[in-house]
Amino acid sequence: MLSLSHNLKNQLQEALEKAFPEAVASAKKSDSPLEATLVATGKEEFGDFQVNSCFQLAKTLRKSPRDIALEIVKYLNMDPDFSEMCDPPKIAGPGFINITISKDQLIKEIRSRLTDKRLGIPFEDSSKDIEKLKPVIIDFSSPNIAKEMHVGHLRSTIIGDSLARIFEFRGYKVLRLNHVGDWGTQFGMLISHLKEVAPEALTDPNAFEISDLVKFYKEAKKRFDEDENFQDISRKEVIKLQNKDIESLNAWNLLCEQSRREFEKIYERLDINIQERGESFYNPFLKQVINDLEKDKLLVTDDGAKCIFLVDKDQNQNNLPPVIVQKRDGGFNYATTDLAAIRYRFRNSPEGDGASRLIYVTDSGQSSHFNGVFQVAKRAEWIPKGCRMEHVPFGLVLGEDGKKLKTRSGETIKLSDLLDEAIKKAKSDIRQRLQKEEREESETFIEKVGKTIGIAAVKYADLSQNRTTDYQFSYKKMLSLQGNTAPYLLYAVVRIAGIIRKGDNIQVSLREITFNEDKEWSLLRQILKLDEVIIEVEEELLPNRLCTYLFELSQIFNRFYDQMPVLKAEEPYRSSRLVLCRLTADTLKLGLSLLGINTLERM
């Protein structure tokens, strides 16, 4: 349950801690601290917050929960700050304390939102706290060179970008890193193969399309798996590359450049800002990783390969496959690079990023990989105190048949085709709607609105799912004007924009804002929950929470607007309701922008 305003909750917490020093002091000594027990209530009849710590305290203090509740309430009532913010608290049941924020306080909060561009979301000011200067690194998107970017990468891109936007808005320094797969045996294979079958690909950047490269890559892989001689040639090619042989390096650069151009097109369409720092960047640090691990006596040589066996929480070796950091032939792999990356990202500059938090957005198929490298990094003591690493896994993108998303002929879907299709369908929906409403609009209008809705629908469909589950990709569902979809939210913004256009300015002075209906109070309360949901997403890295919040806000708004006159209401209600309309629109716009979604004034 979301609580009403993060800020109000913090203030209440303080009042509560002041209210009953003795009780709080003893509660703090026990394992369950008092702060955990100020919870948002689900039902209006219980007020906005409930304190249920009296039950735990009862044990420690050997008194009845109700007596403790009475005592806390007595102190709360004596606190002028508390009394200004809340109605007198009520004791319910055997010892719950129900707290309702007073109407005056709610109006005060709403008024302050009107002049606050951040709508109450706190700002982590790094100029005041040097710890906050440490960047949060979000490793996302991360497609592979000479391969196509697929729907999994799309999902990572959309989720990662939204998390980055939220952290940035909160005031953190964010490093958005594209850990592209641009190193390893695959380049040896590809370059060796191209040298034979299409040497022009290695010198002329325009000789082939990316899809041709993908084809060449598949051929090379097949040869590699079947032909020992070719394996040998490929390995030698990798070594040449690693030794910075100029011809190999040029060829490699060219392949990277070509893929990069393709990726850029997608990023531009999705309005994604990301810095490329591929696997190759960490190449110079791989030997250091091995040395460090050797020094820490974590390395074991098993069948010629250097690896680390994983342990469970009691430090006993578990049955999971070990993390292999150097293969028998001396080559390094994916895990070695990720270890080098962790080490680099936490080390202070100039040999590192000095990060405070690492966030990896990939499909859940890589969970055991991250589990392994995180454990190795911890045991090697590369994680500074107070810093953390998290894997943000997500499920598969499925087609409407419930199987992995494919084209009708069974091939992987090209992302550019997928976006084109969403836009095309959005445009045809608009045309139908215009016809029904007997509206005339220009082609440029349809073009612009179609693009915005199409892209928004794809992004929102992805973000609104709990990312840990697989999600079914359906153009029809994501483009529907009904339900938890981008068009539904965009439409709410448009609807309010219309009201505000007609309602011109707010005519009463802000001091006269006043409400007298339940629907108004519900809407107001929902508006005030924005800061809480943002803090929650920052903690739990689940953007779908923000989506649910925005969807509920639109629903509550629609209920309010359907049942209550706004433009035709008497003053001061007319202006007061317009204030709620404007704040609803501002909240939706800000929330959607943090999801990477643009809004429209008309659609």
Q: Pick the binder of ligand ARG from 262, 292, 338, 520 (CB under 6 A).
A: 338
**Distance of alpha carbon 267 from alpha carbon 149, whole angstroms:** 11
Closer Cβ to ligand ARG, 179 or 240, answer by number: 179
Instruction: Examine residue 282 and tell whether it contacts ligand ARG (CB under 6 A).
Output: no
Helix (H) / strand (E) element for 339: namely: helix 334-346
**Distance of alpha carbon 143 from alpha carbon 265, whole angstroms:** 13
Please state the closest distance from residue 269 (CB atom) to ligand ARG, in A: 20
Closer Cβ to ligand ARG, 179 or 357, answer by number: 179
- Beta-carbon contacts of 218 under 8 Å, excluding residues fewer than 6 positions away, are none
Please state the closest distance from residue 341 (CB atom) to ligand ARG, in A: 6
Please state the closest distance from residue 377 (CB atom) to ligand ARG, in A: 12
Closer Cβ to ligand ARG, 102 or 371, answer by number: 371
Closer Cβ to ligand ARG, 16 or 377, answer by number: 377
Of 249, 332, 321, nearest to 288 by C-alpha is 332
Where b means 16+ CB within 10 Å and e means fewer, 4-26 reads bbbbbbebbbebbbebbeebbee
Bridge partners (DSSP) listed for residue 51: 38, 97
- Beta-carbon contacts of 557 under 8 Å, excluding residues fewer than 6 positions away, are 492, 496, 523, 581, 584
**Distance of alpha carbon 41 from alpha carbon 46, whole angstroms:** 6
Residue nearest to ligand ARG (CB): 142
Structure tokens at 312: 């469970």
**Distance of alpha carbon 578 from alpha carbon 596, whole angstroms:** 27
Q: HSE-up of 468 (CA within 13 Å, CB side)?
A: 7
Q: How far is CA 44 from the centre of its chain?
A: 30
**Distance of alpha carbon 77 from alpha carbon 84, whole angstroms:** 10
Instruction: Examine residue 184 and tell whether it contacts ligand ARG (CB under 6 A).
Output: no
Q: Pick the binder of ligand ARG from 41, 56, 142, 234 (CB under 6 A).
A: 142
Using CB under 6 A, which of the segments 140-148, 236-244, 513-521, 563-571 binds ligand ARG? Answer: 140-148
Q: Pick the binder of ligand ARG from 208, 252, 344, 360 (CB under 6 A).
A: 360
Please state the closest distance from residue 362 (CB atom) to ligand ARG, in A: 5
Instruction: Examine residue 95 and tell whether it contacts ligand ARG (CB under 6 A).
Output: no
Instruction: Examine residue 217 and tell whether it contacts ligand ARG (CB under 6 A).
Output: no
Please state the closest distance from residue 338 (CB atom) to ligand ARG, in A: 5
Q: DSSP per residue over 113-171, as a string? A: HHT-TTTT-----TTT-GGGGSPEEEE----BTTS---HHHHHHHHHHHHHHHHHHHTT
Please state the closest distance from residue 358 (CB atom) to ligand ARG, in A: 9
Bridge partners (DSSP) listed for residue 363: 394
Instruction: Examine residue 161 and tell whether it contacts ligand ARG (CB under 6 A).
Output: no
Helix (H) / strand (E) element for 97: namely: strand 96-99
Instruction: Examine residue 216 and tell whether it contacts ligand ARG (CB under 6 A).
Output: no
Closer Cβ to ligand ARG, 34 or 175, answer by number: 175
Instruction: Examine residue 362 and tell whether it contacts ligand ARG (CB under 6 A).
Output: yes
**Distance of alpha carbon 390 from alpha carbon 367, whole angstroms:** 10
Q: Pick the binder of ligand ARG from 5, 56, 144, 464 (CB under 6 A).
A: 144
Closer Cβ to ligand ARG, 366 or 472, answer by number: 366
Tell me if 343 sits within 8 A of 122, measured CB to CB: no
Closer Cβ to ligand ARG, 374 or 560, answer by number: 374
Instruction: Examine residue 139 and tell whether it contacts ligand ARG (CB under 6 A).
Output: yes
Instruction: Examine residue 157 and tell whether it contacts ligand ARG (CB under 6 A).
Output: no
Closer Cβ to ligand ARG, 144 or 554, answer by number: 144
Please state the closest distance from residue 172 (CB atom) to ligand ARG, in A: 20
The contact mask relative to ligand ARG for 108-137 (x = CB under 6 A, - = no) is: ------------------------------
Q: How far is CA 582 from the centre of its chain?
A: 26
Please state the closest distance from residue 540 (CB atom) to ligand ARG, in A: 20
Count of residues touching ligand ARG (by CB under 6 A): 10
Tell me if 325 sits within 8 A of 336, measured CB to CB: yes
Please state the closest distance from residue 279 (CB atom) to ligand ARG, in A: 8
Please state the closest distance from residue 360 (CB atom) to ligand ARG, in A: 6
Please state the closest distance from residue 447 (CB atom) to ligand ARG, in A: 33
Q: Pick the binder of ligand ARG from 9, 113, 170, 179 (CB under 6 A).
A: 179
Using CB under 6 A, which of the segments 40-48, 139-147, 497-505, 586-594 binds ligand ARG? Answer: 139-147
Q: Pick the binder of ligand ARG from 47, 120, 181, 184 (CB under 6 A).
A: 181
Instruction: Examine residue 235 and tell whether it contacts ligand ARG (CB under 6 A).
Output: no
How many C-beta atoms lie closer than 10 Å to residue 29's C-beta?
Answer: 9
Of 178, 179, 185, nearest to 242 by C-alpha is 185
Of 492, 513, 491, 482, nearest to 556 by C-alpha is 492
Tell me if 321 sits within 8 A of 339, measured CB to CB: no
Please provide residue 310's backbone torsions phi and psi, each rounded to the nearest 5 degrees: -85, 155
**Distance of alpha carbon 239 from alpha carbon 72, whole angstroms:** 72
Please state the closest distance from residue 144 (CB atom) to ligand ARG, in A: 5
Tell me if 426 sits within 8 A of 479, measured CB to CB: yes
Closer Cβ to ligand ARG, 179 or 519, answer by number: 179
Closer Cβ to ligand ARG, 278 or 450, answer by number: 278
Closer Cβ to ligand ARG, 95 or 160, answer by number: 160
Please state the closest distance from residue 347 (CB atom) to ligand ARG, in A: 16
Q: Which residues form the interface with ligand ARG (CB under 6 A)? A: 139, 142-144, 179, 181, 338, 341, 360, 362
